[in-house]
């Protein structure tokens, strides 16, 4: 099984007009895994919302931010190591927290902005949304929870959050992976 745990940080909430500023994750293929963490400059036509930057504390003017095309090519190079995009059965399961409504549409649009209409050649649809899996597990506790954010769900499931740095893609994906693996035990 091929799992792509992916988390993004963005410059707003609309994938058509707002940029992805960070893509972090882990590709798992059997016992092999590969971590990645890319910082991305906005496309020239993208609009960056100052409120989003206040939340994720990213600054796309810093030197570690690369051009979108450079990051796209780096991501494709990793994907090509694990997937034959011409084989309809050989794809990653896209796994994330709120991935179906947020991360996957942004990544799909990122591919499109890079001139690639074949996002579906790499990933199965729909995504595996860990938030929805957690909602099923916590159905009897949900009404008493203050919210359903990643940190709240992790705490409710007994996951240690010492040193938490939420809205840092690489940290969010580590917690998402822990929740996913906890929820999938026994399956």
**Rounded CA separation 163/144 (Å):** 25
**Rounded CA separation 77/143 (Å):** 44
Q: 30 is written with which tokens?
A: 């059997």
Q: State pLDDT tens for residues 116-162.
A: 999 999 999 999 999 999 999 999 999 999 999 999 999 999 998 87
Is-contact 94 128, C-beta < 8 A?
yes
Tell me if residue 32 falls in helix, strand or coil: strand
**79 φ, ψ to 5°?**
-55, -40
Among candidate residues 62, 2, 45, the one with its CA nearest the CA of residue 53: 62
The model's pTM:
0.93
Q: State pLDDT tens for residues 76-85.
A: 999 999 999 9
Query: What is the gyration radius of the CA atoms in the chain, in angstroms?
Result: 16
């Amino acid at each position: 099984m091929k799992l792509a745990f992916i988390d993004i940080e963005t410059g707003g909430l609309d994938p058509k007009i707002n940029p992805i500023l960070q893509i972090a994750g882990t590709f798992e293929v059997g016992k092999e895994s590969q971590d990645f963490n890319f910082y991305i400059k906005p496309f020239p036509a993208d609009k960056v919302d100052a409120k989003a930057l206040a939340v994720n504390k990213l600054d796309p003017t810093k030197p570690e931010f690369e051009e979108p095309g450079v990051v796209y090519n780096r991501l494709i190079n990793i994907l090509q190591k694990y997937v034959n995009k011409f084989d309809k059965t050989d794809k990653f399961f896209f796994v994330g927290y709120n991935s179906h409504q947020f991360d996957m549409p942004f990544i799909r649009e990122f591919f499109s902005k890079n001139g690639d209409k074949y996002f579906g050649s790499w990933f199965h649809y729909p995504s595996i949304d860990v938030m929805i899996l957690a909602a099923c597990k916590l159905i009897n506790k949900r009404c008493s929870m203050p919210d359903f954010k990643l940190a709240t769900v992790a705490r409710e499931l007994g996951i240690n959050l010492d040193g938490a740095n939420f809205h840092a893609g690489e940290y969010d994906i580590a917690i998402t992976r822990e929740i996913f693996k906890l929820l999938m035990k026994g399956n």
